[in-house]
A and B are shown apart, each in its own frame.
Chain A
Amino acid sequence: MALLTWSAGERRGSAGRWGGAWLAGLTVLGALAIGAPPPPEASTEYQLKAAFLFKVAQFVAWPSRAFREAESPFVIGVLGDDPFGPYLDELVQGERIEGRPLVVQRYQRVEDIVACHLLFISRSEAPTLDKDLALLKGRSVLTVGDTDTFTQQGGMVRFPVEAGKIRLKISIANVEADKASELVVSSKVRTPAIVVPPGKD
Chain B
Amino acid sequence: MTMILVTSGVVLVLTCAAFVGYELLTYRRSAVQQLATLGEIIAAESTGAVAFEDQRNATEILGALKAERQIVAACLYDRQGKIFSRYPAEARDDAFPSTPQPDGYRFADGHLTGFTPVVQAKGSGRFGTLYLNSDMGAMYERLRLYGGIAAGVVLFTSLVAYLLSRTLQRQISQPILSLADTAKAVSDRHDYGVRASKHGEDELGVLTDAFNHMLAQIQEQNDVLEKRVRERTAELEAANNELEAFCSSAAHDLRTPLRTITGFADVLLDPRAKLPPGAAERYIRMIRDGSGQMSELITDLLSFSRLGRQELSRQMVDLDQLCREVFQDLASERGGRKVELRLHPLPPAEGDLALLRVVFVNLLSNAHKYTRPRDPAVIEIGVAVCAPGEAPVYFVRDNGVGFDMADAEKLFGVFQRLHHAHEFEGTGVGLATVRRIIDRHGGRIWAEAAPGVGATFFFTLA
Contact = CB atoms under 8 A, between A and B. Distances in A.
Interface of A: 1, 52, 54-55, 57-59, 95-98, 165-168, 186, 188-189, 191-194
Contacts of A186: 48
Which one of B54, B55, B80 has the greatest number of beta carbons of chain A within 10 Å? B54
B123 interface: yes
Given A57-B123, A95-B124, A189-B54, 18 more contacts: A1-B80, A55-B125, A55-B127, A58-B123, A58-B125, A59-B51, A95-B123, A95-B125, A96-B123, A167-B53, A188-B46, A189-B48, A191-B49, A191-B57, A192-B56, A193-B56, A194-B48, A194-B52
B45 interface: yes
B416 interface: no
Interface of B: 44-49, 51-57, 60, 80, 120, 122-125, 127
Contacts of B127: 55
Contacts of B55: 193
Contacts of B80: 1
B48 A188 contact: yes
B124 A168 contact: no
A185 to B, nearest CB: 10
Which one of B48, B55, B122 has the greatest number of beta carbons of chain A within 10 Å? B48
B124 to A, nearest CB: 5
A-B residue pairs, 8 tightest by C-beta = A188-B48, A58-B123, A168-B52, A189-B48, A191-B57, A58-B120, A55-B51, A193-B54
A52 B123 contact: no
B48 A59 contact: yes
A188 B45 contact: yes
Contact of A191 (B48, B120, B123, B125): B48
B51 A96 contact: no
B48 A165 contact: no
B142 to A, nearest CB: 35
Contact of A58 (B46, B49, B57, B122): B122
Given A55-B127, A188-B47, A188-B48, A97 B122 contact: yes
Contact of B52 (A1, A52, A97): A52
B314 to A, nearest CB: 134
A57 B51 CA distance: 11
A54 to B, nearest CB: 7
Nearest to A98: B122
Contacts of A59: 47-48, 51, 120, 122
17 contacts: A57-B123, A59-B120, A95-B124, A96-B123, A97-B122, A168-B54, A188-B44, A188-B45, A188-B49, A189-B48, A191-B56, A191-B57, A191-B60, A192-B57, A193-B55, A194-B48, A194-B57
B122 A191 contact: no
Contacts of B51: 55, 58-59, 189
Contacts of B57: 191-194
A184 to B, nearest CB: 12
A81 to B, nearest CB: 25
Contacts of B56: 191-193
Which one of B45, B125, B127 has the greatest number of beta carbons of chain A within 10 Å? B125
A21 B123 CA distance: 34
A95 B123 CA distance: 8
A98 to B, nearest CB: 5
A97 B49 contact: no
B188 to A, nearest CB: 99
B311 to A, nearest CB: 134
Contacts of B45: 188
A194 B80 CA distance: 22
A76 B79 CA distance: 23
B54 A194 contact: yes
A97 B46 CA distance: 19
B374 to A, nearest CB: 162
B54 to A, nearest CB: 5
Contacts of A168: 52, 54
Contacts of B49: 188, 191
B52 A189 contact: yes
A76 to B, nearest CB: 13
B125 A54 contact: yes
B91 to A, nearest CB: 22
A58 B52 CA distance: 12
Nearest to A191: B57
A189 B56 CA distance: 12
Contacts of A191: 48-49, 54, 56-57, 60
A186 B49 CA distance: 12
A100 to B, nearest CB: 10
Contacts of A166: 53
A165 B53 contact: yes
Contacts of A98: 122
Contacts of A97: 122-124
Contacts of B47: 59, 188
A34 to B, nearest CB: 36
Contacts of A58: 51, 120, 122-123, 125
A98 B123 CA distance: 6
Given A1-B80, A193-B57, A167 B123 contact: no
